[in-house]
Each structure stands twice: as C-alpha cells, then as structure tokens.
Structure 1
C-alpha cells in the first residue's frame, strides 16, 4: 500500500497501529496488543489495555499516572534491546519529558519512528537526536511554511512581560497549557519571576509525579475548592485547555488569559479562542525543524503522519525525496483533551 519494494517492510501500518512483524510488537498502538513500545505519554500515543509497555525511564511514571497499574519496562536512551531478533533502542525526541524516537534494526535495514518531536532543546525534555536510517516515520503537525517558531527565550521574555503587566494592572494571569510538556516549560519560565505558581489539578498531578521521579521542576500550588479567592488575586495560574472558559475560572476574576500553543502563530486563532494573549510555544517542530530532521536522517523513504501530512509529503517529493502520506489515529491537533483528571476541581 505504501511501499514500492516487494520485500516485507520492517514496519507496516495496520488497524492496530505501527507493527513490526519480525519483532511481533507495535509502536504506539491505538488498540490493545501484547507488546507495545511507547514514544511518549500523550493520550493519542499511549493507550490503555496492552499487556506490556516498553518506554523511556522518564515516561514510565506518566504512563502509570494515565494508564494505571500495568507491566512497564523502562529503559534509558541508547540502551540496546533485542526483541525476537530485532535490535531496538530509544533516542531523545525533545517533545516532552520521557519522549523518545524508536530505532529498529533488522537484517541490515534501519527504521526510525519519531513519535512527536521538536528540534529546539527546551532544557528539560532532552535534545532531539538525529538518527541515520533507511526509512523515517515523521509527524507533520506543523508541516506548513507559515509555522516558523521564535526562539524559546524570546517567547519566555514576552510571557514574563505580559504577566508582570497584568500584575501592575491588578489582573491574575491564567496561562492555558497542556498538562504534559507545555505546562512544565511554562512553569520553568515563570519561576524566574515568582516563588508561587498556582495550578489546576490536572497540571499539579503531572508536575508532582515528575518531581517525585527526580526531575528538577518548580513546585506548584494546587488549587482546590478551599483555596481563598483573595489569595488568587493577581496570581499566576496554569490551566489545561479543558478548563478554558469553564466555571472553574470564575474565582480568579479579574483575570487575563494567555494561550500557549503553536496554533497561536496564526492571529485569527487567538481571536477565535477569545484570549487576551497568544504565545506560539509548541512542543512540535516547525516547518524548518521538520525539514532539518528529515535531511539529517539521510533516509531514503519518508512517511509523514498526523498533521499536514499531505502538504508535507508532497513538498518532499517535489524536492526529490521519496515521501508517502500515511493516515493514522494519532492526533492532528496540538492540544488534546486532558486525561490527567482531578476529581476535586
């Protein structure tokens, strides 16, 4: 379907997900399987019900938080594991804490599954590592030239200035950020100007799990029904997308809202979300980052998944790179509904 070669490919695309037939395992399956290798803990890549999960050490506590008790095999980046004769190793993807690319080698053929990734080092998720391979499966969430990120430090400076301006005007600052990945980066950014950051339970849960696992992240103050309104006046508050516009936010009035998402690169999206500010802070590679990653793999074949895969694969083919569009069940939006719930909020 996606291959010109008559040889059996190392990875095939099935109704269960990415399947390595020689190794008899799946990568980020969207249905329960016997053995799953997980690139990262976001809900579209890590799903409940499989018998065994292999993942990076930093991903394990997040999988346990989201999926519950199970059989988890944590490994370090670069560790070599053989699964039914297939050489498997995980390598930094730079997407969120614990995120990995999966490298497979078998009978002289090397494939890399990127999962989700970004090429700018955010300082907490591990720097993306280009891996030479024959075939590369890449995301394309922001696979259009209009997506061109500013450096992280520039965005951080803008975010801190916005918060300080809100303080001076008597407003609380609510930053809308995904609970895994974005919220950790925003907390690091804002810890430079405050000793106390408040957070919705979904974000507080994930942050505390990571802190307990040894990651050097700021402590967050969990908001509960008992948190006094007066205490929250002028505060800095982190909230997941699912809380945006909800009744939960009323107690913070007066407040201003800033959305942290790559989609904020397009100004119309900020207006549609009725936000006071938009910060194009993304956990995904932009157009240039995607092209750089593809080039550095040296891959003969590129398979573009979720996002603007049609446009991205077409552009690669026009540049002489053999690329294929692959439709999957992975999210094509940067923000999914948060599944790290909090029953007290």
Structure 2
C-alpha cells in the first residue's frame, strides 16, 4: 500500500483548491443520496493530475468494474451507486477543502481516499467533525485511523509491511543499503524497517533519504554500492522506485533489489532493470484461486490489461462501503453502522475479513511476497 512531497504539514489556503475540487460525476446536491429513490453517492478524494495521477487512473478502473457489478445487481436497495470525484493531487492543501465540500454535500454518504496517508490525515478532523466516514483504503501510516471514529482503512499498516519486508530481505542478504523517500511516510517506513532489520540480524551498511522529485540519485546510489551490500532496499512508490533501480544498475550494482510497487507504471518505467525485484503486495493475476481468476477475466475483458494492486484496492474499497451501506442503511450513520457490525467483508486482495473495532483496521491480514518475472509480478516461489 500506498504509492511526492512532505505532507504532514499544517494546511491553509482554501482558495488554492477551489479551482481543483471539480466534482466529476453526477450533480445531485439535493440530498437524495441519504434518502428517497435517487442515486447513492460516494465521494472520491484522490489524484487525477500531478505526480500521483497514475494511482487515480488505476483507482478509476477498479471503481468502474465494481460499479458495473454493483449496479447490475441492483445497487443499494434498488438505487444506483454513483461517484463524485475531486482531484486532490494527493496534496494536503487540497484534501482539506475537498473534505469540507464533501461534508457539506449531504448527498454523499461516505468518502473514499486519499491516496497518501499524509493527505488523508490532514483532512481527518473535518470528516470526523462532519460525521462522514473517511475510508482511506490505501493509507498504511499507523496513525491514520487514530483520527477518530469515522476514519477507517483496510490497508495493511507500515509496521506489518516492513516486518515482512525484513523477513524477505533476510532470505537473500545479511547486509543491505537502503534508500527511502524524504517524506514523513518514507521516514516512518525506514524507522520500521530499521527496527525489524536489527531484530532479524540484518546490517544496514548505508542509508539515505531521496527527494520525491529527484531525477538523478546516482551519487547516493554510488555511496550505497561502495558500502558493499548484498542487496538494495527502496522504501517508496512506483515512479521513484523505477528511477532508483534503473540508476542502480547504471552504477554497476547487480545484486537483489527490494522496492518499487506492483503497478504497470513501475514495470514499464523500470524495464529489464527490475527483473527479479521483490515487493510487498496483496494481489497477483497469476494466483490460481478461482475467485481471483474470475476477477482477472472480467478486468481483462473491460480494460484489455492485467489488474494490479491499486485496481484491486479501489475495487474492494467500493464493494466494502456498499456492503456496509446495505447492512446499516444508505446514510452516513448507516455506513458507519455497517462497518461496525458487519462480520464478514469479502475482497479480492484481502479475502474474507472483519474490522477490529478498536483500530478500525482488518483483523489478521498480511502482505504477500511478489517477484517480478518476465515483466509480471507473481507470487514468490511460483514458476
């Protein structure tokens, strides 16, 4: 999870976002989303432009397939489900006014997003004061759901991700160099990886932050190479991961690489340099599970490409909040009630799960080890 600037800063300047909020689907501020026979609306705060736009594009595909299935099955009590998008660029300066707009729009019964944890955390106080569920389905920062009773996330948290990451690294290396994004998310990821690496007997011979908008990190990578690591670890997102692995190969490091993300963008940008890369993931289209293969078949038919993690995150997220609304009612309090009382949510990425009512995170879910083989991420150990 996932998936850029330093984002935990105090946010001001509502005017900045006024031109960017642009609700993309449906009009209907009439309030029919909470009662009556009109559509049921969910608000989406996420990146459609800017450096994280690729994630918004992947979300849209997942949402579109989910909407097809939800509405073909009768929507929510016979009412069509629709989305209202707001382009946040995953920027806290924009997620705050978007939150205010969504809270004021009484037709919206829950919000999904934002992409980055810092962008979501900045808006959490508004959603909680407004009693509108904020479903941060890609928010792995451990503090996200501490924002209040209306902040929920199915995302595996950074501490769990990095403990598993260290386990997988240990299989191939006892000495590593690490680069991580110079953001609050990146720093927190490194702190957890450092903790678990020490526990598992992995020496971090060199570590350095990298700026999210970097175009040349070779000087940093050369220093990391000169520390004679057995493997290189990258803690960040897809675009910066592709930059790191390509330039890492350019400076002559040929050992194992752990980093990047399970996205088409990472695979395309990294190319052959990333062959053998190992990542934390939740999904592989190579999984033989019949339910997953049915999803893959439908996704390919609609988009003529294989799905990845962020398509699955969005698909599952919409299915979960719709299931909650069916259980508790198509209102804001109904969605909250559904999340609190439903004991069996199902998803492509997480399987069957229930929420821990204290943490508002799923019980017992863990990431999967995926390996890039011939341009596709497959479960580790598969042939």
Q: TM-score range by the shorter chain?
A: 0.3 to 0.5
Greater share of residues in helix: 2
Structure-1-length-normalised TM-score: 0.37
Greater share of residues in strand: 1
Structure-2-length-normalised TM-score: 0.34
